[in-house]
Structure 1
Amino acid sequence: MVYLLDSSAIAVLLKRLGGSAVKYFAGVYTLDLAYYELGNILWKECALMKLINEKEAVNKVKYIAKLLKTMNIESIKSEKDLEGTMALAVKLKLTFYDASYLYVAKKKNLILVTEDHELREKSVKENIEAITVDEYIKQK
C-alpha cells in the first residue's frame, strides 16, 4: 500500500509524534501544496494565535522542509491534471486544493491520509480509499 498524506495528516502526525513521526513520511506521497499549507499553519500559530514565537516558527518550518524532502512530492501542473482537478472540484463541491489531493490519489492509485472528514466522505464517491491518521499509524 502506498499513501498520499495531505497537510492535515502531516500536521497531526508532527503534533502527536514529534521527532518520532519521521518514519511515517519517508517514501510516501504529498503535494507541493503541503509546503504552503504547513507554512500557513505555523504562521497562524505564531502571528495570530501567539502559540509559538517567530524563532520557533522558523525552526519548525525548516524541519518541515527537511521532512518533505524525504517524501515523493507531486504537482498539479499539466493541462490534463488541472482539468481533472477542476472537474473533481466542481463535481464534488470541493476546493481546488482539496480536489487536487483526490485527483492525485486517484491518478496514482494511492490511499489518501487526511483528517478532513468531508474529504474522506467525498473520496468514497470516486472510489478513492481515504483513511485517518490513526488508521494510517495502525497500518504502518
Structure 2
Amino acid sequence: MAPRFLLDASAVYPLVATLKEEFVDHARLFAVLDLTAYEVGNALLKEYRKGSIRDLDAALRLFESALSYVTVLNFPGISEVLKLAYSENLTFYDAAYLYSARARRMRLVTEDRDLLRFPESINVRSLLEALGSNSEIT
C-alpha cells in the first residue's frame, strides 16, 4: 500500500509520542520529505537546550527508528515550490510539504497553522481519529 499521509516535522513528534510502538503498525501509511529528518533533528536540539529533553541520544534514536519505517520522498522541484511559496505566502519549507502532498495526492499532516488552512491538510488529532476508526484509511 502506498503512503496516504505526508507528515511534516511539526506532526512527527506528537504522532510518535502518542502512538509509541503503534507508530510502526501504521508506518506504511506515512511518508516524510527527505528534509524532515533535519527539521526533527533541529527541534530535538532546541528542546534539549531548553531542558525539555534529558537524553538527546536516546531521543534521537527513538526518532531515527520511527522514521526508518516510513517512506522518504525526495525534495520536490525548487522552481515549483518557490512559485507556490510566493503565491500562497508560505515559507519555502511549508510550500515544499504542501506541493509534495498535492503532487502525490496525499493528506498533509501538520500542526502548522499556516498549512492547516489548506484543504489537503489535517492535524494530528484528526489523523489519530482516522487511524482509530479506520474509516478514512481503508
State the Cα deviation string for residues 65-101 of structure 1 (Å, max 9, x = none).
1211111111226xxx111111111111111111000
Aligned: 1:120 with 2:104: no
Q: Which residue of 2 is the match for residue 87 of structure 1?
A: 83
Q: How many residues align?
A: 129
Separation in structure 1 between the aligned mates of residue 33 and residue 82 of structure 2, nearest angstrom = 16
Separation in structure 2 between the aligned mates of residue 139 and residue 44 of structure 1, nearest angstrom = 31
**Structure 1 residue 14 displacement after superposition:** 2.2
Contact 2:4–2:30 (CA<8 Å) still a contact in 1? yes
Separation in structure 1 between the aligned mates of residue 27 and residue 124 of structure 2, nearest angstrom = 12
Q: Which residue of 2 is the match for residue 15 of structure 1?
A: 17
TM-score in terms of structure 1 length: 0.83
Aligned: 1:138 with 2:119: no
State the Cα deviation string for residues 73-130 of structure 1 (Å, max 9, x = none).
11226xxx11111111111111111100001001111011111121111x24xxxx11
Secondary structure of 2:111's aligned partner: coil
Q: Which residue of 2 is the match for residue 37 of structure 1?
A: 39
Q: Which residue of 1 is the match for residue 67 of structure 2?
A: 68
Separation in structure 1 between the aligned mates of residue 33 and residue 21 of structure 2, nearest angstrom = 21
Contact 1:115–1:132 (CA<8 Å) still a contact in 2? yes
Q: Which residue of 2 is the match for residue 51 of structure 1?
A: 52
| Structure 1 counterpart of 2:34, one-letter code | D
Separation in structure 1 between the aligned mates of residue 130 and residue 20 of structure 2, nearest angstrom = 19
Contact 1:27–1:70 (CA<8 Å) still a contact in 2? no
**What is the aligned-residue identity percentage?**
32
Unaligned runs of 5+ in 1: none
Separation in structure 2 between the aligned mates of residue 23 and residue 130 of structure 1, nearest angstrom = 22
Q: Which residue of 1 is the match for residue 104 of structure 2?
A: 108
TM-score in terms of structure 2 length: 0.84
**Structure 1 residue 24 displacement after superposition:** 3.6
Deviates more, 1:64-73 or 1:17-26: 17-26
Unaligned runs of 5+ in 2: 132-138
Aligned: 1:97 with 2:93: yes
